[in-house]
Each structure stands twice: as structure tokens, then as C-alpha cells.
Amino acid sequence: MEILLILLLIVVGIPLLLVFITWWMWRSKQRIIRRLAFVPIALLIGLALEVYWAFYPREEFYRAEWVENTGFILPDDIDFIAKSATYPDFHGDYSVSAMMKVKAADLSNIEKRLQQSNIFEVDTSQQRFGITTDFTDLLRSATEIQPDIVYRSTRAEWFHVGLIRARSIIVFERSSS
């Protein structure tokens, strides 16, 4: 209980302290102190951006998840059609799903690398995709076509890659819980 109280004081106290310091500096009669008011303003903006990016990750996060789970990088010229990620829970478990449009040549190259990888195998189960609730909605909203082939990771974590060849789309889903 004390830890939650301390955490609440930090989460609420630091931004409030920065706002108070900014207000005090802005009202100062000295010009140099008024100019220094931009330092806490910049800290508040940086803090707000970090909080925003924690809940709505940037494209680099999805690229890093791909590299971490497949072992190879995505092409630079892909377009993310849709993406979704959950914030980690108390145990650090989270889920990530994304749908990407690639060039046909890149799609065949990625499929070849997945086939040659000793980490992946073709998923023949009925589950295939949709362990996370966000992913089912994501897939339904972007396309009604089911993936032609799904590869699953042989590692302990849930990581599936689906390929929709007709539209040159790659979908992937990861869940650590």
C-alpha cells in the first residue's frame, strides 16, 4: 500500500511541481528567470510524449518486435496499415499485432526467410491467429481475406506471421502471456 502511495505521489507530484515552478518562473520580474521557465515546459512536454508513446507506440516499436522475434529486419519501404499494442501488465506481459503492406518481391523474400528459418514452422492448427482480442478486430477492419499461410514460432512465446499474397500484406501477432 505504501508503494502505491509513493508511486501516486511521484506520478502526480512531479508534473504538479514542474507546473508550479514554471508558473513561479514565468511571473518573475527578472528576465533571465522568465527565460528559464522554458526548461520545465520542455520537461513537461517530454514527459507527456513519453507517456503518449508508452500507450501508443511508434513504428520503431513494431519493427523492433519483428526483429526480436524473427531475427531479420523489415524492408524500409513498408506501410503499416494497422497496428495495435497493449500496455504491459504487472508481470510485463503484453501483446502486439500489426498489418503491413509490402512490395511483392519483399513478400516473397520474407516468406523465403521464414521457410528457411529454424525458428518458424507452418501452422496447421485451427487457432492460427486471434489470441489477442485487438488482433481479431484489426484483421477484420483491414481486410476480410484470411492469410494464405501462417507461420508460428517454435519458441515459447506466441508469435505468428501470416501472409496474404493477393494483396502483398503481412500480419504478425505476438503475445507474451
Tell me what pLDDT residue 135 has: 59
Q: Encode pLDDT of 115-147 as tens digits.
A: 888 888 888 776 656 655 665 666 665 556 677
* Beta-sheet strand order (sheet of 95-101): 79-85, 95-101, 169-175, 158-164, 149-153, 120-122
Tell me what pLDDT residue 133 has: 60
Task: Give the H/E segment covering residue 142.
Answer: helix 133-142
Total Cβ atoms within 10 A of residue 11? 11
| Residue 9 grid cell | 505521489
Tell me what pLDDT residue 60 has: 93
Tell me what pLDDT residue 151 has: 86
| Residue 31 grid cell | 528576465
Tell me what pLDDT residue 29 has: 83
Tell me what pLDDT residue 137 has: 64
Q: Which pTM was predicted?
A: 0.72
Q: Which residue has the cell 512531479?
A: 14
- Give mean pLDDT in consecutive 10-residue pieces for the chain, a chain of 177 residues: 76 82 84 82 85 86 91 90 81 84 92 89 72 60 68 81 86 82
Residue 154, CA distances (Å) to 57, 69, 136 in order: 26, 10, 22
- Give the relative orientation of helices 2-26 and 38-55 as an angle to the nearest 10 degrees: 140
Using CA atoms, how far apart are residues 130 and 139, in angstroms rounded to an integer?
9
Total Cβ atoms within 10 A of residue 64? 14
Using CA atoms, how far apart are residues 156 and 8, in angstroms rounded to an integer?
35
Using CA atoms, how far apart are residues 150 and 161, in angstroms rounded to an integer?
6
Whole-angstrom distance between the N-terminal and C-terminal Cα of the chain? 26
Tell me what pLDDT residue 156 has: 65
| Residue 127 grid cell | 487457432
Phi, psi of 132 (to 5 degrees): -95, 145
